Chains A and B, each alone.
Chain A
Amino acid sequence: MTDTASALDLPRRAASVHTDDAARERLKARYAAERRFKWMGAAAFAVAGIFLVLLLSTIVMQALPALRMNYLTLPLDLSAAMVNPQDAAGADYDKIVQDALLANFPQATGRQDRRLARGLISTGSGTILRRAVANGDVALGETVEYPVPLDDFADLYMKGLLAGKGSVNPVQATVTPSGTSGDIELTFDNDSILALARGLGAVAGENGLLRLTSGAASLLLGIDGGVVKMTEITPATVGAIAKGIVYSPLANAGPAPSGAASLRIIDLPEGSRKISDKEIVWLDGLKAQGLVHSRFNSQFFFTGASREPELAGIWGAVVGSFLTMIVTLGLSFPIGVSAAIYLEEFAKKNRWTNLIEVNINNLAAVPSIVFGLLGLAVFLNFFGLPRSAPLVGGMVLALMTLPIIIIASRAALRAVPPSIREAALGIGASKVQTVFHHVLPLAMPGIMTGTILGMAHALGETAPLLMIGMVAFIVDIPGGFTDPATILPVQIFMWADFPEAGFQQKTAAAILILLGFLIIMNAMAVIVRKRFERRW
């Protein structure tokens, strides 16, 4: 066959059925359009995926610093002179903590300096110590080493979030200080420091004077075991003379040879950060003495809310969410399942049941904030139930989750094959017995899955709870269903609004906890579905 074909030398079959160029062009265009369409679809999906990654990574990055907190270990004098063992609660713990702290800063003699030093640790330190004494965590009658939390700004600085470490370089000049404390003069034997300061935003004055104002980068000179902040630099006949303030006292006033002194430059000007140079020097001093430790932030996980970022905790909101969810589950599960059983198993198809059905579908689409208005008008104002209570919050959320549970339960009931019902009826069970003894147990996994998903939805809901006053600032951990409480998403909303920088990390950490609970609930739903759901 092949032989004959080649022998006859027939025209070879065209490579393509598209013979003319125009057709080939059209085909090419169509294939290009096909590829473009596919890539558009992939790009659309990629945008959603990238956004998800971006969102989660931003929140995780923000949240990580909040998981640890810096504590300052201080030798606290709890001798009988300071704390009366008979009346331990009455002692002035704030004073004990502050005295121990100020002992580290002998140079802080002025009122302003002392206040600045006191501001390095949390204002709640005294209360924390009082609680530790009350719990018997520290022994009375002696001086004990006890860690107290740093203030939020100090904490953020230690985490490197307020000002960077800056660059630290040896000074290539011999520097001679004129004293060891207070305002001193520094003599440089060459003028390299002048060019450096000019490049860092120093303000030029007369005769080549350079002022390092709060708008310029900070120059901190480490010399003779102390730290000097430079304020002015003037050119001299040989080298330069700088004025400075001693932040950390010098050991002696001896000249430092070239390369012995180190210059730390913090590029972010002092005026545009929340922590001053003096605080930075002091904190670094404390850190160098080994007094500052970073520890797991148990304060955040196990205490209630606070206006102070370093004292604020999430536990109150977690308990509030838990109480609210109990009420929601206790109401919406029995009511939802009963309604689904009635509509699916007992109700005749008529206008009345049709109305209920349309109603349920519409309720599922009503904006959540409208449920909040309902709760405010009916539960709070008409029935006079307490504001901010988990009871009311749970009732509002129960009304919201009800349609979800009803729809899921009906689907689960419908999935049970009629043969089960017929068999039960056939051996003499009543309709009620059939449903409750045979159909409902088989539909339970599906109902549970729907309920868990509905509860996860309710746990993340915020808007309706703002309406019924759960946005109030509540420090105490709620102890019952009618106590004022707040819940996790509302706590996130409130913290996101607080201006203090420390709350931003707390907000992200609270979001992580909320997402953690949601993941657990969704995983539970998946497990229930995988393990128990039967298919017929």
Chain B
Amino acid sequence: MVGYLLLVLAGLFVAAYLVGRARALSVVNGETSKLHSLPGQHGRFLGIMVAGPALIAVLLWGLVTPRIESAMVKDRFATELSGMGVPQVEAFIRDAKAIAFGGVAGFSDATKEAAASVYRSIHSTSIWIIVATVALLAVGGFLLSYGRISPAFRARHIVERVLRGLLILCSVVAILTTIGIVLSLIFESLRFFQQVPVYKFLFGTHWSPQSAFTGAGTEAGAVNPDIFGAIPLFAGTLLITLIAMLVAAPLGLLSAIYLSDYASPRIRAVGKPVLEILAGIPTVVYGFFAALTVAPFFRGVGESLGLGVASESALAAGVVMGIMIIPFVSSLSDDVINAVPQSLRDGSAGLGATKSETIRKVVLPAALPGIVSAMLLAVSRAIGETMIVVMAAGLAANLTINPLEAVTTVTVQIVTLLVGDQEFDSAKTLAAFALGLVLFCITLALNIVALRVVQKYREQYD
């Protein structure tokens, strides 16, 4: 419905634009030089006045009505719904909606049919209301502004002010997103922490939330807070991140140095695209490769050496993740190394140092803050990486530092807790939001620290 209304509004805008332009031309008998603003700007002004307020009304209507309609239906059927828990009421509303507007209903009975017909009547009323509102606003806007079009009227200023407002609105979306992330994570986490104390979540060593699921309508008191200890997840995440960084840090740094200082132009012409392709491959592909090829390979090697390697070992996931991060580390280090002024290299070469001595004793120390910051960003990337670990790391929360065993990570648990149809309010799904909050805070902190390291310790040359 909102879509049709938006189409109608677009049509209204175009019509008003044409009318406004014609009006502007006719008030000066075609001598545009007598107008303060261009005829098109007059047209746009009329269009904004006709369609703008109606647009706001339609958007508000689209956001608000589904809730109001549901609330009205619930209110009408309060007696029938009184004995039900929250999930059943939700299911009832969903089925009634499906019967009323087409869709797959779970099963239908007389009450639901009645609710559906109530739904239908409320909905048609609400459509009448919004159509009338749109018509009223459009006509009102037209009547108010059509008369204002005159040679001296400053339509351009108004149009440009509206446009500027729109631009500001768009840049505020970024802030709204952050606020949305923070608020949704915090609210759901707070609900989780009402059931499970924070210290048990952060410092508990036993994690098995799947056994907490006792069915729909679980009472808050029925949750066993001892099975939400996230320490094994943090340990697993750190283990895999450590392995990934052990792979990515030296390989990324060395390949950056090699490509910028040693490689011939021909190798460089091949090398840069190789790293770019590596960076562009979706993580789900890395995950498939890790699970299909790398993990069995490590298990085979382990068996031939007489070691028991789990089929979902931390080693396989960590190594593949490390490879994925190589281009990230390499491109960041490349920027940092290139930022070291040439005069330092020349000075070192003038003293008789070889190329590698220059790099190791002059360039790298000078670039150290930048490299540290690049590594921190890479760590933050590794901690937040999801698909590789979901496909190649384990599900069981083992508290171990043995890279040959299966461990699980924060992101894996978020995915396992939230994939599939579940009651949204159970402690199990809320735990995912608490994990998300931890993840968000850690990555944010790492990014801030990385930024500060560069700002604080950067050497100012020149």
Residues of A within 8 A of B (CB): 30-31, 33-34, 36-38, 40-45, 47-49, 51-52, 54-55, 58-59, 62, 334-336, 338-339, 341-343, 346-347, 355-356, 359-360, 362-363, 365-374, 376-378, 381-384, 399, 402-403, 406, 430-432, 456, 459-463, 466-467, 471, 489-490, 492-493, 496-497, 504, 507-508, 511, 514-515, 518, 522
Contacts and interface: CB of A to CB of B under 8 A. Distances in A.
Given A342-B168, A374-B181, A55 B281 contact: yes
Contacts of B356: 33-34, 36-38
B457 interface: no
A343 B172 CA distance: 10
Interface stretch (B73-81, B113-121, B411-419): B411-419
Given A55-B281, A514-B282, A34 B354 contact: yes
B174 A365 contact: no
Interface in B376-418: 377, 380, 383-387, 390-391, 411, 414-415, 418
B177 A55 contact: no
Contact of A492 (B167, B170, B288, B327): B288
B270 to A, nearest CB: 8
A463 B387 contact: yes
B255 A52 contact: no
B164 interface: yes
Contacts of B261: 41
Contacts of B385: 367
A338 B163 CA distance: 10
A461 B254 contact: no
Contacts of B384: 366-370
A34 B349 CA distance: 13
Contacts of A355: 175
24 contacts: A31-B354, A33-B354, A37-B359, A45-B254, A45-B263, A55-B285, A58-B293, A339-B170, A339-B173, A346-B167, A359-B178, A365-B377, A369-B411, A369-B414, A369-B436, A370-B439, A373-B181, A374-B180, A383-B63, A463-B387, A467-B418, A490-B284, A511-B285, A511-B288
Given A37-B356, A370-B440, 4 more contacts: A373-B181, A432-B163, A493-B287, A515-B285
Contacts of B346: none
A343 B252 CA distance: 34
A374 B437 CA distance: 11
Residue among B181, B257, B274 having the largest count of chain A Cβ atoms under 10 Å: B181
Contacts of A471: 419-420
A289 B255 CA distance: 58
Contacts of B411: 367, 369, 463
Contact of A42 (B163, B258, B278): B258
Contact of B167 (A339, A370, A514): A339
A439 B293 CA distance: 50
A450 to B, nearest CB: 14
Interface string B263-295: 100000001001101101111111111011100
A368 B387 CA distance: 10
A382 B160 CA distance: 34
B251 A47 contact: yes
A462 B171 contact: no
A429 to B, nearest CB: 11
B285 A30 contact: no
A387 to B, nearest CB: 9
Contacts of A399: 173, 177
Contacts of B287: 493, 496
A359 B173 CA distance: 10
